[in-house]
Structure 1
């Protein structure tokens, strides 16, 4: 099939769409990318909700990108009708344009996050507030323009089904080849070295960065645990206040993607999410798949969605429980046998289930794929 990947997505910032595209190509599909990155992250889009006077600038930039995408889309249509159009992550507006440009061509929307869910999760609006109702309307419009909706966990399907959707496909986030290629960087570290754990993200309530900070503050030098926190966002200031000048905690505000991959691959443990919000109970974060692919053991919150994907190959703690998180890190710093077992089992699961080809398998079943390259 010829599939058009369409939109203003930025795969360097949000790698989900890159994994989907790589997976489709692994299934021997002809994927044409028509992409004009908008340059607005999720956090910056959330800021627009708080500071609506910035909306004209956002709208102007979006229109410029769309003008280019219209030209590219019409040119692609002259080549012949594509079999499907994939609208990448953060495509709530792009999917509307895709419907206008490609007409009756099946549209697949990667609905990794909902606009309303993101705003509610970050405490920026209530469902009945004007902001909340606007976000709900944006979600409804985006979903109405799609023929197939892709989500990342089964826990998100019932809410869409209640709205009448029956064409929902669950595709795990997965990890790109670069993460798998980096695996093994920490294999030769000595047993006497401190346990290395890493968290990377945008410090949102969903991620539970303050829980990680409280756990770090509980650790003593004799616990032999080092934690690296990468990124910056909503809860960064509070997390920094909690940790203070703890000698075992390192802060890095930004890394290029390739540098982040190399760093994560040198760690023993990748920390997932620990938030207590409703959304935190529905998702399996990208960092969990990436850390697993890079060869780390995974420690994350004990939710149905994460257990459903990670099984018994991860270490779990109750959401928001800093004491339990600190205890698990202490245990793994002493019990290197368990640490090695978690790393090995999670690496095997990642190679079996988290590759790009496996991530898109449910999508291929929905839109009618052909034999994967590796199975020919």
Structure 2
């Protein structure tokens, strides 16, 4: 099939779409990318809700990218009708343009996050408020423009099903080849050295960075745990206040440098938030850390257990003491860490590759090769 990957996505910042494209190509699909990155991160888009005076600048930039995408899309249509159009992550607006440009061509929307769920999760709107209703309307418009909606967990699919949506496909986030390559060549710390632990993210309430900071504050030097926190965002100041110099702080890394850093660690931390959204997602960092050969410690939710099984260590969401206890135990039992790393890396190689991530999508838009299915 010929599939057009379409939109203002930025695969360097949000690698989900790159995994989907790589997975489709692994299934020998002809993927044509029509992409004009908007240059707004998730955090910057969320900030527009708090600072609406910036909306005109956002709108002008979006229209500029859309004008270019529309020309590219119409040119691609003249080559022949594609079999499907994939609108990448953060495509709430792009999917509208895709429908206008490609008409009756099946549109696949990667609906990894909802606009309403994001503003509620970050405390930027109350349920039923004007902001909340606007975000809900944006979600509904995006979903109405899509023929197939891709989400990352069964829990997210259930929410959409309850609202009357059909044609939902659950594709795990997965990890790109670069993470697997780093994991295959990683040199982990000596068993006699301190346990090296990494967290990376945007410090949102969902991620529970303050819980990680509280756990770090409970650990003593004799516990032999070294924690590195990478990134910056909403809860960074509070996390910095709590943990202080108990952790190593890195505000930003190039993607390749981040991959190398994570692959050098013993443990990759997932999420520990207590928000409704935190209970229904499996974060990208969990897939990437697993591919990089790390042991995974994350919150005990149905969604994460469903993907990681018994190969990860779990703590109750928001429980800093439990997190500190687990890290202390792992630092004292390095053979256990090695076992968790090996099991998680095996699971990642089996379940988290790009090809496996898109397998459910291929069943939907297929047909899937029966030989591959066997």
TM-score above 0.5? yes
Residue 73 in structure 1 maps to residue 99 in structure 2:
no
Residue matched to 2:311: 313
Asked if the contact 1:269–1:299 (Cα under 8 Å) also holds between the matched residues in 2, the reply is yes
Distance in 2 (alpha carbons) for counterparts of 1:310 and 1:266: 21
Residue matched to 2:200: 200
The Cα of 1:372 is off from its aligned counterpart by 9.4
Distance in 2 (alpha carbons) for counterparts of 1:317 and 1:375: 35
Distance in 1 (alpha carbons) for counterparts of 2:182 and 2:352: 15
Asked if the contact 2:111–2:150 (Cα under 8 Å) also holds between the matched residues in 1, the reply is yes
Distance in 2 (alpha carbons) for counterparts of 1:189 and 1:175: 23
Residue matched to 1:328: 326
Distance in 2 (alpha carbons) for counterparts of 1:365 and 1:2: 16
**CA 1:250–1:188 in structure 2 vs 1: closer, same or farther (change >3 Å)?**
closer
Which digits, 9 at most, give the CA deviation of each residue in 1:9-43, with x for residues without a partner?
Answer: 00000000000000000000000000000000000
**CA 1:226–1:185 in structure 2 vs 1: closer, same or farther (change >3 Å)?**
farther
Residue matched to 2:218: 218
Distance in 2 (alpha carbons) for counterparts of 1:96 and 1:312: 41
Question: What RMSD over aligned residues (CA atoms) do the two structures have, in Å?
Answer: 1.3
Residue matched to 2:245: 245
Residue matched to 1:136: 136
The Cα of 1:371 is off from its aligned counterpart by 3.3
Residue matched to 1:163: 163
Distance in 2 (alpha carbons) for counterparts of 1:101 and 1:137: 22
Distance in 1 (alpha carbons) for counterparts of 2:342 and 2:187: 11
Distance in 2 (alpha carbons) for counterparts of 1:231 and 1:259: 13
Asked if the contact 1:205–1:275 (Cα under 8 Å) also holds between the matched residues in 2, the reply is yes
Residue matched to 2:173: 173
Asked if the contact 1:184–1:294 (Cα under 8 Å) also holds between the matched residues in 2, the reply is yes
TM-score normalized by the length of structure 1: 0.98
Which digits, 9 at most, give the CA deviation of each residue in 1:254-303, with x for residues without a partner?
Answer: 00000000000000000000000000000000000000000000000000
The Cα of 1:127 is off from its aligned counterpart by 1.9
Residue matched to 1:302: 300
| SS at 1:251 equivalent | strand
| SS at 1:270 equivalent | strand
**CA 1:188–1:64 in structure 2 vs 1: closer, same or farther (change >3 Å)?**
closer
Residue matched to 2:284: 286
| SS at 1:274 equivalent | coil
Residue matched to 2:347: 349
**CA 1:369–1:28 in structure 2 vs 1: closer, same or farther (change >3 Å)?**
farther
Residue matched to 1:119: 119
Residue 100 in structure 1 maps to residue 100 in structure 2:
yes
Asked if the contact 2:273–2:318 (Cα under 8 Å) also holds between the matched residues in 1, the reply is yes
**CA 1:161–1:32 in structure 2 vs 1: closer, same or farther (change >3 Å)?**
same
Distance in 2 (alpha carbons) for counterparts of 1:217 and 1:87: 42
**CA 1:375–1:159 in structure 2 vs 1: closer, same or farther (change >3 Å)?**
closer
The Cα of 1:369 is off from its aligned counterpart by 3.8
| SS at 1:239 equivalent | helix
Residue 84 in structure 1 maps to residue 84 in structure 2:
yes
**CA 1:72–1:99 in structure 2 vs 1: closer, same or farther (change >3 Å)?**
same
Asked if the contact 1:269–1:298 (Cα under 8 Å) also holds between the matched residues in 2, the reply is yes
Residue matched to 2:358: 360
Distance in 2 (alpha carbons) for counterparts of 1:369 and 1:354: 21
**Range that drifts further, 79-88 or 152-161:** 152-161
Asked if the contact 1:28–1:370 (Cα under 8 Å) also holds between the matched residues in 2, the reply is no
Residue matched to 1:5: 5
The Cα of 1:370 is off from its aligned counterpart by 4.4
